[in-house]
Amino acid sequence: MKFLRQFFKQTNIKQEYNNKISIDEEYPKDWLDIHFKMYPRFNSIKLKKYNDTNLLQKTVLERRSFREFNKKYAIDFDKLSKLFFYTNRIKNKNGNSLNSRRPYPSAGARFPIEQYIVIFNGQDIKQGLYHFNVYDHSLEKIREEDSRLFFKEICNSDWISNCSALIILTCIPLRTCIKYNNRGIRYILFEIGHIAQNIMLIAENLGLHTCAIGGFDDKKIAKYLKCNKTDEYPLYLISLGK
Ligand SMILES: Cc1cc2nc3c(=O)[nH]c(=O)nc-3n(C[C@H](O)[C@H](O)[C@H](O)COP(=O)(O)O)c2cc1C
C-alpha cells in the first residue's frame, strides 16, 4: 500500500531529528518545557492519594528508563522465557490459531506486531539475532553475531552496547490495514505501545531495567532484519539489562 510506504518514509528519524541538533549541543528550551493543561476558572475536586501499593501498582510506579547498564550482566534464559511468556503469548491455543488471544489488546485481533531479540550478553543463550515465534513460544535463531557496535551506531547512543539484550518490535501493517484500511496504522501504533508497556513492566518485575528507544535508523535496522524489501517495518526498540 502506497500510503504505508510513504508514512514510514516520511517519519524516518533522519528527516525529523538528526538534522536539528548535534549530540553535543544543549537542548533548546522548547524541548525542555513540560506543559500541563489546566482549567483554573472551573471548580476542581481533589482526588485521594495513597501510600499502600500492591505488586502491580509498585511495578508501574518503579518503572523508569535506565541508560546505565552493567556490561558484565548476562541475561539468563529463565528470565528471557518469563519475559516472553508473560508479555506476548497465545493464551488459548487449543490446537488452532483462530480466535486466539494474547496478553495485550489488538484491533480486530489482527496481531500485526512481530518481535525479535538481539542477545548481546546471555547466559545459556548465544549472542545473536532471534525471532520470537509466538505460536510455538520459542526463539528462532536467525544468526549468531556480536552486533553491539552496530546498534551503538544506528541508535547514536554509546550506552546501548552495555545492555544484555535489545528487543526489536516490527509491524506488518497489512495484517491490520486489510481490515481497517489507512486507519489501521493508528491501531498498530496503539498496539505496539501496549506490548512495549507489558515488556517494560514484566522486565521491571523480573528485576531487569529497560529503556524505550524510538530513535534509530529505520533503513539500517530493516536491512539488519532482512525485511527491507518486504512490507515489515521496524518500529520500536527496548533495551534490557541491569
Ligand atoms: C516512543 C518513545 C521513544 C523513546 N525514544 C528514546 C530514545 O530513542 N532514546 C532514549 O534514550 N530514550 C527514549 N525514550 C525514553 C524517554 O526519554 C523517557 O521515557 C522519558 O525521558 C521519561 O523518562 P522515564 O521513562 O524514566 O519515566 C523514548 C520513550 C518513548 C515513549
Q: Whose CA is nearest to atom 18 of ligand 1?
A: 65
Which parts of the chain fold into alpha helices (H)?
2-10, 13, 29-32, 55-62, 77-87, 148-154, 174-180, 184-205, 218-225
- Per-residue pLDDT band for 17 (boundaries 50, 70, 90) equals low
Cα–Cα distance measured from residue 165 to residue 129, given in angstroms and rounded to the nearest whole number: 10
Q: Whose CA is nearest to atom 23 of ligand 1?
A: 65
Closest CA to 165 of 58, 80, 62: 80
pLDDT of residue 95 exceeding 80, the answer is no
CA of 223 to the centre of ligand 1 (A): 24
* Residue 214 CB less than 6 A away from ligand 1: yes
CA of 213 to the centre of ligand 1 (A): 6
* Residue 200 CB less than 6 A away from ligand 1: no
**Domain contains 48:** no
Closest CA to 222 of 237, 238, 233: 233
**Domain contains 241:** yes
Cα–Cα distance measured from residue 213 to residue 102, given in angstroms and rounded to the nearest whole number: 23
**Domain contains 177:** yes
- Per-residue pLDDT band for 15 (boundaries 50, 70, 90) equals very low
CATH code: domain of residue 111: 3.40.109.10
pLDDT of residue 22 exceeding 80, the answer is no
* Residue 183 CB less than 6 A away from ligand 1: no
* Residue 64 CB less than 6 A away from ligand 1: yes
Q: Phi and psi of 204, rounded to 5°?
A: -55, -45
Q: Which is more confident, 72 or 7?
A: 72
| For the CA of 66, the nearest atom of ligand 1 | 26
* Residue 117 CB less than 6 A away from ligand 1: no
Based on the structure, what is the number of domains in the chain?
1
pLDDT value of residue 79: 97
CA of 136 to the centre of ligand 1 (A): 31
CA of 166 to the centre of ligand 1 (A): 15
* Residue 17 CB less than 6 A away from ligand 1: no
**Domain contains 15:** no
| For the CA of 215, the nearest atom of ligand 1 | 8
pLDDT digits (tens, 9 = 90+) for 112-168: 999 999 999 999 999 999 999 999 999 999 999 999 999 999 998 999 999 999 999
**Domain contains 163:** yes
* Residue 211 CB less than 6 A away from ligand 1: yes
* Residue 108 CB less than 6 A away from ligand 1: no
Enclosing domain of residue 80: 66-92+101-242
**Domain contains 83:** yes
In this prediction, residues 202-209 reach a mean pLDDT of: 97
In this prediction, residues 88-109 reach a mean pLDDT of: 83
**Domain contains 31:** no
CB count within 10 Å of CB 183 equals 11
Cα–Cα distance measured from residue 14 to residue 147, given in angstroms and rounded to the nearest whole number: 21
**Domain contains 7:** no
* Residue 215 CB less than 6 A away from ligand 1: yes
